[in-house]
Structures are given as C-alpha cells and as structure tokens.
Structure 1
Amino acid sequence: MGLMLRYEQGVRTHVGRVRKINEDSVLARPRDGLWAIADGMGGHARGQWASATIVRALDGVVLPDAFDDAVAAVTATLEAANAEICRAGHEAGGAIGSTVVALLIRDDRYAVLWAGDSRAYRCRDRLLAGLTTDHSQVEQMVASGLLERDEADNHPMAHVLSRAVGVRETLLLDRIEGDVAAGDVFLLCSDGLSRLVSPLEIETRLIDTPPAIVAGALIACALERGAPDNVSVAVIGCDATTLVELGQRPAGEGKGERATW
C-alpha cells in the first residue's frame, strides 16, 4: 500500500501578440504523470516541427511503472528525438532545434529533464523554487562571475542557448530529482512567460488558486505585457488521494491533451 496523488492541471499555449506561428508544443499525460513543454527554433515551420517532434515522441513512449525505468524511457525518447531533428537539420542545410523541459511524477518522486531555457518551478508551503537553470550563454556568464544576476534577463544575448534538442548529435540533458508532497504545485513554462513574469509574480498567482485558473492568468499577464514570443504553461497541482495499491496510475484528463487559447 502507498499514498498516491491525483493531479489537477492547467495547460495552455498561445502564439502571443507578435509572432504569426506558434513554435511551442505542449504535452500532458496526467494518467502517466508526464508533462512537457518544447520551444522550437530554426524559423517558423522548422521550429514548429522540431517542438512537435519532441512532444509526439513523448506522447508515444511506453512508461514503465518503476520510477528509474520511466526516467530512463523518457531520456531515451528525447535522445531519439534529438537524432531525428539532427538528421532533418543536416538535410535542410540549416539549424533546427528546440528546448525541452519534461516533468515525470511517480508516486512520491519526481524528475525534471531539460535542455535549453524552458523552465520548471515547484511551489511548496507557499514558496516558489526554481528547479532548472537556463542553458544559455548569459547564464554561463553569471555562473562564471562575468555578469550580475540582475543584468541577465535584459542582456542582448539572453536568447542565445548553449544547449537544445537537435543541434548536436549528442544530447546533453540536465536532470533533477526529488520528493513530491501533497499540496505541491509544479509549473513548466517556455521563455515567453519567464521573460515577462517574475518568479514572485508567479508565486503569488500559484498560491491557493486552481491550476486551470493559474494557467489562464499567467497567459493573460504575458499578453498584457505585449507577449513578443509564443508563451506556454503547464501547471500541475498534486493532491493526496486515499491509500491504493501501488502501481495504479492516478486518474487524469486523458493522454496527449493540448489546450490552446
């Protein structure tokens, strides 16, 4: 017997106020405890295809019940997507790629895997904490002491990535794992949100608000501020259920949901 969690989610993606094509793709598989956001690059249709390729691959992966095996399956799927996007870039004669941030939850454990500057946060006990570090040239400058943290967000090189899916034959993923408690709220987002809405503003909206309402409010905030980029969010609230047999997946809203405003 073990304590299982049920998930309440809000998943939204919007093209923004400036761009004509949404190059973001969003995955929600609440029955399997898997969510992801991918932010494509390479220009219009290429970027859209790259992010969609990642989400399509994750939507089709068979996830074992064991936590470590499920993490390995997600990792292998992202590596396969990386190879496919790399091949397409070589054939097209130009760079194609995408960021990715993926959240996997199994019982009382979570893993976040990412490449690029799409982010993951967790709100616990009314406090927001960042789980990811941007893979960008600016972040490397901050880490090396060449740039102050408060100078990073508005730096002219802030958009230049040091890692992404599809740009190199070997995919470099970062990974963080931890425990999950009832009441935790996770947020995945593309940089179309994080460049416009501060962590403190995100924290304020997450507290005591249903995930579907939070997701809509965050998109609305980005749009109010001009939304020069596509913006995508996935908000996942974790609530305790009754004690059930281990291995039973929590009820959810169905596989592969993509909610678009």
Structure 2
Amino acid sequence: MTQIDRFAHHRAAIAAGAMMLANEGRHGRPLTYHVVNAEGREPAFTCEPHEYLAVTPWTPQTEPFQMGVSAWMAATFPKEVCADIRERGDRLLEEVLELLQAHGYDRDRVATLTQYVYGRHVGEPAQEVGGVMVTLGAYCLAAGLDMHACGDAELARVWTKIDEIRAKQGGKRGLHTPLPTAPDSATADTLPITVWQINDMEWFAGAGTPESILAWYMEEHGLSHEDATGDEDELPRALSDHELDTLKFQDCDENERPTGIVRTFREQLAIEVAEGGTFPRLFASTEC
C-alpha cells in the first residue's frame, strides 16, 4: 500500500465510524481506545497505567500514523514517560508554540488566549482532539503545508534520533520538568561558572545545567531551540578541561580587528569571574 493509499484508507475508516475512549481507565483499569467501523468495534490499542502502549492495529491492511508514533514512543522512552499525560501535554504545547514561532506569531497573544481559554467551560477530551486536528489541517492549508507529509517526515526523522532524544530525556532533572528551566540562585550557588558552547559560533559563561543554560539563551535572544543550537536535539555543552586550556581568546577593536593579549579560555574565564557581574553572559564568539 502506498503512502497516499495508507492515509486515504485510514481517513475513510475514521469517517465511517468514530474514535471512542473507554471509561474504565479513570478507575485504574486499562485505558482502551477503539475505532468503530462498518465491521464493528475493533480495538486500536490498550494502555495499562504506567506501561508502554501495547499496539494492536485495528485492521491488518494499514498502520495508522498514531500506531507508528506508539511504536516509536515504546522504543524510545521508559513506560512511565509514555503513560504520563501531563508530560505529553507539555510536549504538545511546546511543539504548538514552536510552530507558531516559526511563522512569526506574536508571543504576547499567547498569554491573552490562555486567559480566554481558561476562563471558559472545560471541554470534552475526544471533541477537543478533533478540534486540534481540524484546526491543524486548516492552519497547514493557510501555511501551504501538507500536514500528513510533514508528520511522516518527522516520524521518520525521530526514528533516527532515538539515542539523542533518550539522552536528552534522561538528562532532565525530573519526570515532570516541562521545559528547560531557567537558572536560579540555588543553581548559581551550587554549580561552578564555566564556559558553555551554545552552537558553532558562540560560547557563554555561566553556572547551571545544559537545560537551564539553553532556556536562558532562548529567552535572552527570542530564539527557538533549533535556531539557538542548530539542532532541536542538541543541548549546550560545557567545555572540557582540554578545551579550556587550548581554545584561545582575544579581544577585537571597534573595527573588528584582533587586539590585546591572547589568553586561553580558562585564563579569560578566571578574569571575568574575578570581576564579577551577571551570569550567564556572552563569553566569546567567532565574530568580533
């Protein structure tokens, strides 16, 4: 079955019936999602609380996109992460914001719409999922994007990034950390100030974790994760002792010409720490 046929088959099946969520999961029993089609009620997949999604395709002829996501999740994350609906919500919101940011959406509208939504009655989850899908389709039409092709391309990409994504997840300070957290006074008091490589052109000095340094950099410059580091799966990296002793630092004058004494990164860092001031901050750049 071709890619186009697969999606056409899936959409036809959904149009013939409706997606239902069994109520048992609210009482500690397995969550069971179903697709109702012309042949009757066929289980799509089940999810035991705090377990991986156990995938059972509802027809042998096709594998809906959601099943491909389920297989990738099971291969990438621990069972409790797959079942954590709050963290899944964090990721969903993060991706929506990144999509809007990519098209120049005004960030000030986010707070306004948040107040508007949370001031209204609470919706029904299945209907709201439908609303998300319909609205995403309409958004993609306005943006000139094929939502199905984009989804397939991203799913294929993340299958090649399992190790990096798993390492990023494991490096978080807690299961419910929704996004990289900004540095705070406790972090500054307990971690040393060092030099972080943000991307191929910039190094910053500060105390924190890779996630906190990234969060500060994104906030400071109004950039997305991918724009900040060059790859949405990359995090800032603290320089090794060897790098601190071998990389060279030199000031530039107003005409962008090198001037002054050449120092190692370690020597320059010691000077800046002794002078004090606010950290994190720009330490060095390939551009004068």
TM bucket by the smaller chain? Answer: under 0.3
Higher relative contact order (CA 8 A, sep 6+): 1
Counting strand residues as a fraction of each chain, which structure ranks higher? 1
TM-score (norm 2): 0.22
Counting helix residues as a fraction of each chain, which structure ranks higher? 2
TM-score (norm 1): 0.24
